[in-house]
Amino acid sequence: MEVIDDKDAMRQWSRKQHHEGRTVALVPTMGYLHEGHLSLVRLAATLADVVAVSVYVNPSQFAPHEDLLSYPRDLPRDLALLKDLPVAAVFAPTDLYLRPLYAPPDQRHAVAEPPAAPAPGAAEGGVGGHETWVTVERLQRPLCGGGRPVFFRGVATVVVKLLHIVEPDVAVFGKKDYQQWRLIHRMVRDLDMAVQVVGAPLLREADGLAMSSRNVRLTAQHRQQALSISRALLAAKAAAEAAERGAGEGQEDVADAGAIVEQVRREIEGAGGRVEYVQLVEQESLEPLARVTQPAVLAVAAHFGAVRLIDNVEIQVPQ
Distance from first CA to last CA of the chain, Å, rounded?
A: 46
Question: CA-to-CA distance for 259 and 265, rounded, in angstroms?
Answer: 10
37 a catalytic residue: yes
Report DSSP state, residue 104.
P
Please give the backbone phi and psi of residue 172, each rounded to the nearest 5 degrees, phi first. Answer: -115, 130
Rg (CA), the chain: 20
Distances (CA, A) of 312 to 139, 263, 286, 302: 16, 15, 12, 11
Distances (CA, A) of 220 to 83, 104, 268, 269: 30, 40, 17, 18
The neighbour count for residue 152, using CB atoms within 10 Å, is 24
Question: CA-to-CA distance for 174 and 203, rounded, in angstroms?
Answer: 9
Question: CA-to-CA distance for 269 and 254, rounded, in angstroms?
Answer: 20
Report DSSP state, residue 130.
B
- Do 281 and 143 touch, CB atoms closer than 8 A? yes
The dihedral of CA 82, 8, 95, 302: what is its sign? negative
Question: CA-to-CA distance for 319 and 85, rounded, in angstroms?
Answer: 39
Distances (CA, A) of 138 to 93, 127, 159, 233, 306: 30, 33, 18, 25, 29
Non-local (6+) Cβ contacts of 290 within 8 A are 256, 257, 258
Indicate which residue of 37, 130, 185, 222 is catalytic: 37
As annotated, the active-site residues are 37
